[in-house]
Amino acid sequence: MALSGEDLERYARHLVLRDVGGPGQAKLQSARVLVVGAGGLGAPLLQYLAAAGVGTLGIVDDDTVSLSNLQRQVIHGTPDIGRAKTESAADAICRLNPGIAVIQHRQRLEAASARDLVRDYDIVADGSDNFGTRYAVSDACFYENKPLITAALGQFDGTLTTIRAHERALDGRPNPTYRCLFPAPPPAGTVPTCAEAGVLGALAGVMGSLMALEVIREIVGFGEGLVGRLLMVDARSMRFDVMRYTYDPQNPLSGETAQGPEAPR
């Protein structure tokens, strides 16, 4: 995809980077990224992907903007209260970079629809706030052979990793799945919701920005990705740690006793 004169100016700071340059920017412009959730994580993620020139952004969210969202969901503003988050986010993206194609999926991503949604995209970034969606999207990405960047927020902590479970590592072993890291969701009611526990607003910005960085690195292909590594951020101590994890032969997706695709097609 050729860069216009306006593109050359807009993306000038990318183009002079040796690890991005013209070829990398062209990859970004031709990429299709599905963002699950236009909330605390999805808001900065969408902004930075749009600013970076990712050509097509799909947004999955069934919620509307509320006043309590604005403490951390920075893609929305006070005039957007009551609007669909997909619509509000799409307008903000257009203001930032009108060259981006935005596809709104005003729906909740569930197991029955997940595979159809992820199938049309090159990479998926999950910033959802519930375990049902996280497992539905990670399973769908495995079955549809799509890379997944997934993050989660606590009150003062966050995690981020990349899943390429449809591929193998250099040693020939399968890459880990999301279920290798978290085999099953916790029992209902054991983990408080964001509304119940609270969350530090700026932390959502940090983690969403890190998600965007990881998506960009996966598209362009530079640096060491987070496959098999869980990045953990502690906002209280301002510590960044990494925990390594590996393929679990007992996982239900690609394990030794896996029965094949179970997620709806």
Known catalytic residues are 194
Three-state DSSP state, 245: coil
Strands 56-60 and 32-36: parallel
Q: What is the largest CA-CA distance in the chain?
A: 55
Q: Which H helix or E strand runs over 241?
A: strand 239-244
Nearest to 229, CA basis, from 168, 149, 123: 149
Tokens of 72: 């951390």
One-letter amino acid for residue 227 of the chain: V
Backbone angles phi, psi at 202, to 5 degrees: -65, -25
Buried b (16+ CB within 10 A) or exposed e, 194-204: beeeebbeebb
